[in-house]
Structure 1
Amino acid sequence: MANRGEVAAGASGHAHAHTSPDSDRRWLTGALAVIVVFMLGEITVGVLAGSLALLSDAAHMLTDSASIVLALWAIRLAARPAAGRMTYGWKRVEILSAQANGVTLLVLAAWLAYEAIRRLVHPPEVTGALVLITALCGIVVNLAATWMISRANRSSLNVEGAFQHILNDLFAFIATAVAGVVIVTTGFARADAIATLVVVVLMIKAGVGLVRASSRIFLEAAPLDLDPAAIGREMATQDSVLEVHDLHIWEITSGSPALSAHVLVPPDSDCHAVRADLNRLLTTSHNIEHSTLQVDHAQSGAGAHCDHPHGPSHRADHR
């Protein structure tokens, strides 16, 4: 099988983010400060007004604050260099943060759905004017926080998790403002609970998306925009390539795809040149900058095949 001397890493380069970690931290910290100040005021008004929508918004803003703190911690930890047993560094911590944000959205959605249904059956008295004024202020605050986080690197699933929390809170305040208008103009108290259910649907959608995306990375599935079968066939059509197998594509963290493969070439081919050509193809055509290719000469008389490939084989005669 492999000659260890033929194992080489692909193209180097680790710049995947559009902004620096320091810049991301500044934007996230600014959003955190705005949200915490407003959340404390909203809790006070929600209790005085007897509004579940406002209290649910405040609870959501608490998870927003926690999600940003978690994202900031993950950014700091992920910046540590690879060392010792942590051969990839701590980059996967960002995915843990994203998954935690998704799970908290789903748990909070379940609790709010229960409370909203209970209030639909037995609607309490709600002070519509306080609900409306607070919700309008909340829209302004969340617009500012959403803009701040949008300036950070949203290609990071970690930052995207915090962004989804804030974005859903913005939707929540819009729904709450509508409920406040309805209560003030018609006295229909159930509008408060209905607004909460609208927010619950949005929270479930965002939470499921985050959990699904982070789970794909933990399961080391290929990124959605990269088709392993198509890439394997494309590699097999390159000059001097007889077969590609043991092809694996995964993500170290969001936006950092990696690839490894075993490549067989004719006995008289230059393994180093083939490896360089394949690395160039992977980098330029598929933005895969982390690749490890094991290139070996096919054994004479054995054909251009590996006896025990792991996964499908891609061969030059199957173009």
Structure 2
Amino acid sequence: MGHVHGDTSNRTRVMVAASLTGGFMVAEALGGWWTGSLALLADAGHMLTDTVALGLAWYAFSLSGRAPSTRLSYGFDRVKTLVAFVNGLSVFLIGFFILFEAAKRVVDPQPVLGGPMLVVAGLGLLVNVASFFVLSGGAQNLNMRGAVLHVLGDLLGSVAALAAAGIIMLTGWTPIDPILSALVAVLLFRSAWALTRESGHLLLEGAPASLDGDKVAADLKAHVPGVGDIHHMHLWSLDGARHMATLHVHLREGAEPGTVIAGVKQRLRTRHGIEHATVEPEYGLCADGGCACAVAVAPREAA
């Protein structure tokens, strides 16, 4: 299946990014301690959590390749959404920590070595840019978006540290270090909120933002012969990329159930990107009760 191949590529990309991030994290932490830079220390702390987050993302992609079981009939794809949710929350925690440390540094400025800070920040920027492009080339789903968000935070942190180092070298004004660190944290909150909200929505079996149930139903009635009415439709997604649906289809008189079901599934797949659908055909009243057919049809006579 296509998503398996995509997950294999994503797993490799995430592992490369995790290796780059984790490898440079130690150097940046030492550089931050040596120079006294909060921007470097914050970025190193972010890199530490990012290495863990990328490791979780890699593990989620590894699990998603496992075959479904009787207890997990969709396999482990939902793990990717769960990891995306956790990654979104972790970015919030990192941001609040940076804001707290920045407030302390503004009140009580600390000496910062601008020259060495500039060198370390520059190297960090190169590493983060490399990781960002490695991840950006992968197939996008919520898990990859979470991984990219973490690396983007590192990249912005390196840019802030680089800018702070330059200003400190030119003016000697050290408060710019915590101020830019706080700015990066605030910028990350918006992306973290979007990721957390969307992944949480999918964990609650909410419909993907790209799908509108009423519009999907209207499209099926208009383009699939034999469809009289659509109801009991449920739309959801495993990971933001693999969409699912269940629905009841009232058949028009004389319609062949097998033909209509095949037509509905093909339309859902090609027009709406829903690769897995369970379609229940009905004549007359809904089998679940409480829902009469909106189209005048006659019960099919027994053969």
Distance 2:229 2:204 in 1: 26
Q: Does 1:84 align with 2:78?
A: no
More contact order relative to length (CA 8 Å, sep ≥ 6): 1
CA distance in 2, matches of 1:30, 1:128: 30
In 1, the alpha carbon distance for the partners of 2:116 and 2:262 equals 66
Partner of 1:178: 163
Contact between 1:245 and 1:263, CA under 8 Å: does it hold in 2? yes
Q: Deviations over 1:147-178 (max 9, x none)?
A: 1122322x221122111101111111111111
Pairing 1:121-132 to 2, within 5 Å after superposition: 121-132=107-118
Structure 2 CA distance, aligned partners of 1:142 and 1:31? 8
Segments of 5+ residues of structure 2 without an aligned counterpart are 297-303
2:110 partner SS: coil
Contact preservation (8 Å) 2:250, 2:293: no
Opposite residue 25 of structure 2, the aligned amino acid is M
Correspondences of 1:300-311 after superposition (within 5 Å): 307-309=289-291
Deviation at 1:21, TM superposition (A): 3.1
Count of residue pairs brought into register by the alignment: 295
Indicate the larger mover: 180-189 or 22-31. 22-31
Deviation string, structure 1 residues 247-294 (Cα, Å, up to 9, x no partner): 111112221111111111134321111112211211121121211110
1:293 aligns with 2:279: yes
Q: Distance in 2 between matches of 1:45 and 1:252?
A: 41
- Which of 137, 160, 165 in structure 1 is aligned with 2:145? 160
SS of equivalent to 2:25: helix
Residue pair 1:244, 1:262 contacting (<8 A) in 2 also: yes
- C-alpha distance in 2 between matches for 1:297 and 1:208: 45
CA contact (8 A) 1:236 1:314 kept: no
| Corresponding position of 2:181 | 196
State the TM-score, normalized to the length of structure 2.
0.91
- SS across alignment from 1:289: strand
Q: Percent identity?
A: 31
Say whether the 8 Å CA contact 1:266–1:298 is kept in structure 2: no
Of 41, 62, 87, which residue of structure 2 is paired with 1:55? 41
- The answer as to 2:126 corresponding to 1:144 is no
The answer to whether the Cα contact below 8 Å between 1:102 and 1:211 also exists between their aligned partners in 2 is yes
Gaps of 5+ in 1: 1-13
Q: 1:83: Cα distance to partner? A: 0.7
Could you say what secondary structure the match of 2:255 adopts? coil
* Residue matched to 1:214: 199
Q: Which amino acid aligns with 2:163?
A: V
2-structure distance, mates of 1:249, 1:315: 21
Structure 1 window deviating more from structure 2 (19-28 vs 269-278): it is: 19-28
Which residue pairs with 2:83 in the alignment?
Answer: 97
AA paired with 2:192? G
The offset of 1:216, in angstroms, is: 1.4
Root mean square deviation, CA, Å: 2.0
Q: Paired residue for 2:172? A: 187
CA drift of 1:134 comes to: 1.1
- CA deviations on 1:85-111 (whole Å, 9 max, x unpaired) are 111111111111111111110011011
